């Protein structure tokens, strides 16, 4: 395998390019061909910014289709993807960056500030996103092995300082393919995605299961009971946490007609 994680993330793009990858309630729709094209443009942009295989790329940005494409782009260039909670303050982010020592920090406009940009190389997601409008250039995925690091997730730090947990290409590929197979995901499934993308559940379980099986997702910006109820009839899979289900059960509109 030339690049284990990128190969899995782009398999459906090669086999079923016209299949719907995601849509949003706002009307954005991407096929798997779009995921391939956008992530390829972003991968070129990352290389132009000096990102090399093995470099750590820290990302603090709100949930979006572009954020998913950036994750794929990092895999394609062989970078180590480091997602950060958008709710973290600059002080909290700086503490994690001191530990992670990233080669590049990518933030959306809402998170731009001198405290971070003065200490680390910073690019805005908007700048990377300009690749959306560039010419299509084939991108040759960088060679990686199953043992190479693909991502770092920081623990919550409930018993001390947060610690970076390193996940390899093999970890992420085997996890996604095993879960998708065990849960019976098929290309006809539609996942209602209401989880954050900086968290292992939302990104490496929910989104990866969709991609590994070539199915589709409805990408919500965040959990909203009314939005969830509106999308349930068209969805076959829902992943959430107990708080989500408690809030749904409290909604008068959440009845047999909604499901």
Query: At 256, is the pLDDT very low, low, confident or very high (cuts 50, 70, 90)?
Result: confident
- What's the whole-number average pLDDT of the chain? 92
Within-domain flag for 255: no
Q: Is the pLDDT of residue 136 over 60?
A: yes
> What does the pLDDT read at residue 105?
95
What's the mean pLDDT in 174-179?
98
Instruction: Say what the pTM is.
Output: 0.94
Higher pLDDT, 226 or 109: 226
Within-domain flag for 148: yes
> What does the pLDDT read at residue 131?
58
What's the mean pLDDT in 206-233?
97
Within-domain flag for 224: yes
Q: Is the pLDDT of residue 259 over 80?
A: no
Within-domain flag for 244: yes
- Residue 232 tokens read as 């349930």
> What does the pLDDT read at residue 200?
95
Within-domain flag for 136: yes
Within-domain flag for 120: yes
Residues of the chain with pLDDT > 70, as a percent, come to: 94
Within-domain flag for 175: yes
Query: At 165, is the pLDDT very low, low, confident or very high (cuts 50, 70, 90)?
Result: very high
Higher pLDDT, 256 or 5: 5
Q: Is the pLDDT of residue 133 over 70?
A: no
Q: Is the pLDDT of residue 111 over 60?
A: no
The total number of structural domains in the chain stands at 1
Q: What b/e sequence results for 44-54 when a residue is b if at least 16 CB atoms lie within 10 Å of its CB, and e otherwise?
A: bbbbebebeee
Q: How would DSSP label each residue in the chain? A: --SHHHHHHHHHHHH-TTSEEEE-TTS-EEEHHHHHHHHHHHHHHHHHTT--TT-EEEEE----HHHHHHHHHHHHHTPEEEE--TT--HHHHHHHHHHH--SEEEE-GGG--HHHHTTS-EEEHHHHHGGGGS------PPP--TTSEEEEEE---TTSS--EEEEEHHHHHHHHHHHHHHTT--TT-EEEE-S-SSSHIIIIIIIHHHHHHT-EEEE-SS--HHHHHHHGGG-SEEE--HHHHHHHHT-TT-STTT-
Q: Is the pLDDT of residue 117 over 80?
A: no
What range does the domain containing 234 cover? 7-249
Q: Is the pLDDT of residue 157 over 90?
A: no
> What does the pLDDT read at residue 70?
97
Q: Is the pLDDT of residue 134 over 90?
A: no
> What does the pLDDT read at residue 18?
98
- Kindly report, residue by residue over 30-45, the tens digit of the pLDDT: 999 999 999 999 999 9
Within-domain flag for 259: no
Return the CATH number at 95: 3.40.50.12780
> What does the pLDDT read at residue 139?
93
């Amino acid at each position: 395998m030339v690049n284990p994680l990128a190969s899995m993330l782009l398999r459906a793009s090669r086999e079923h390019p016209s299949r719907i990858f995601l849509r949003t309630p706002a009307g954005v729709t991407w096929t798997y061909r779009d995921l391939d094209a956008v992530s390829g443009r972003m991968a070129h942009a990352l290389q132009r910014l000096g990102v090399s295989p093995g470099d750590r790329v820290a990302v603090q940005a709100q949930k979006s289709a572009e954020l998913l494409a950036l994750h794929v782009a990092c895999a394609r260039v062989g970078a180590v993807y480091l997602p950060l909670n958008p709710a973290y303050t600059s002080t909290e982010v700086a503490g994690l960056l001191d530990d992670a020592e990233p080669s590049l920090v990518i933030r959306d406009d809402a998170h731009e500030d001198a405290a971070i940009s003065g200490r680390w190389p910073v690019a805005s997601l908007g700048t990377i996103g300009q690749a959306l409008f560039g010419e299509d250039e084939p991108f040759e995925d960088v060679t990686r092995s199953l043992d190479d690091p693909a991502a770092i997730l920081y623990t919550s730090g409930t018993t001390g300082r947060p610690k970076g947990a390193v996940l390899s290409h093999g970890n992420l590929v085997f996890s996604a393919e095993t879960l998708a197979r065990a849960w019976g995901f098929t290309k006809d499934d539609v996942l209602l995605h209401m989880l954050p993308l900086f968290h292992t559940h939302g990104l490496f379980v929910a989104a990866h299961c969709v991609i590994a099986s070539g199915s589709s997702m409805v990408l919500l910006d965040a959990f909203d009971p009314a939005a969830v109820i509106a999308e349930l009839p068209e969805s076959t899979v829902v992943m959430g946490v107990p708080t989500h289900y408690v809030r749904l059960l409290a909604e008068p509109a959440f009845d047999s007609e909604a499901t």
